[in-house]
Chain A
């Protein structure tokens, strides 16, 4: 009787171990996959930027510095060849710089209605918005999945199996960009911007 009880307990523990282990492995792979998705979207963005700059270059001679900042930030971002969740800090820094450069450009484009009216700037704008959103959503999915993975491997009792599954806490994609962090300023004075 005692040995049967022992056997039952053993089977239950083994079943739980297998379940917890597989759960962690599945989350790990989901995290990796979510990271790949960010990579795909960043690549798309890098490919789109030269097109965008070409489209607005003629009409925006006088905004040369804004355009150059975008190109520079893009080249910087392409150069970073860190891969995998380990290199996330490096990549995110370069990409955040690119995001804020692009944001400045979009603000500038908004200020020139004649630019928006001509040609396919409207379409390009849509493409850019979409690309930015895709990057943001890919990041969001990665952060959500990674948080789930991290929580799982730290929580008791799953943390017992974490070593066995070679689970390491995944770095989250941080937004350490000033433009994105800053509280939006509301200015109702209607004074011309300097």
Chain B
């Protein structure tokens, strides 16, 4: 571990802690906006109503949605790893009997020693497509899962490199941010579905109120209309925004985790050949759904986007192009070979 990689590690850990906090704040603030914004719109539209009619003065929606968002964020943080593992149908290895599983346990133990983190819990996803992911809130409560396909396809060295990559994510706290994000993406999608249903019933009421307010008093009309449009757009865009967030956080850190794997195994070429094998298996990983895609070592959805790098792919792909990752690892490998060769000869 040279001095700058360790510095990098601490910076990365710090950045991940900070981003996790920002993510929670952003999440709660967004829901607060949805709630209080709705309250305000409702307030404006009922302001001019006759005395006997309902006047929306107390911001019930805002308070309720903020509390819900806080509870959701807390719940997502507390149960995120569990939910991610559950969604992929992973099963824990407790007492390995099968030689393949025994080897996996050994390899994970070896990599835990090399990376200096406690041994994570080990899970297997019974899916024929090779893939792997890590989840957890911190190195003490971490989980590493690999698919059955990865065990079948990879040699011991390659498996080691893949596990090293996952423990890299664990060590620099990527798992915390990425798991929370996965849980929040899921929660938002769920809430969005529910809210759309409620909202559809409610728009008649809101729309009616809006037109009435606009008709009576010209001043509040345009403001109300703009607010309403922005507010409804926020509702519609919520899942898309969280999805894009999930994409944006995951790409850069794949390169870093690759480098950490190379540092743990001192064998970057093994990871390069593992990635090549994983890419060669074109079938998407059926067990891993969209919500957890950014946690995996390779894009489980088998999207062709990951093959390119550019503005479009940058905005939409969860993973950096495989070819580039492999090229970087090969570069490391050859540099290492050259150094060793030069030292002996």
Contact = CB atoms under 8 A, between A and B. Distances in A.
Q: For chain A, what secondary structure do more than half of its interface residues adopt (helix, strand, loop), or is it mixed? A: helix
A72 to B, nearest CB: 27
A133 B110 contact: yes
B103 interface: yes
A148 B113 contact: no
A41 interface: yes
Contacts of B115: 141
Contacts, number: 46
B99 A130 contact: no
A122 B103 CA distance: 11
A123 B102 contact: yes
Contact of A148 (B1, B99, B107, B110): B1
Q: Indicate the member of B1, B111, B113, B344 with the most A CB atoms within 10 Å.
A: B113
A34 interface: yes
Given A123-B99, A148-B3, A138 B109 contact: no
Contacts of A147: 1
B106 interface: yes
Contacts of A145: 1, 116
Contacts of B116: 30, 34, 141, 145
Contact of A130 (B1, B109, B114, B266): B109
Interface of A: 30, 34, 37, 41, 122-123, 126-127, 129-130, 133-134, 137-138, 140-141, 144-145, 147-148, 151, 183
11 contacts: A34-B116, A126-B99, A126-B106, A127-B106, A130-B107, A133-B160, A134-B113, A137-B113, A141-B113, A148-B6, A183-B344
Interface of B: 1, 3, 6, 99, 102-103, 106-107, 109-111, 113-116, 156, 160, 264, 266, 344
Given A126-B103, A134-B110, 8 more contacts: A122-B99, A127-B106, A129-B156, A137-B113, A140-B266, A141-B113, A144-B1, A148-B1
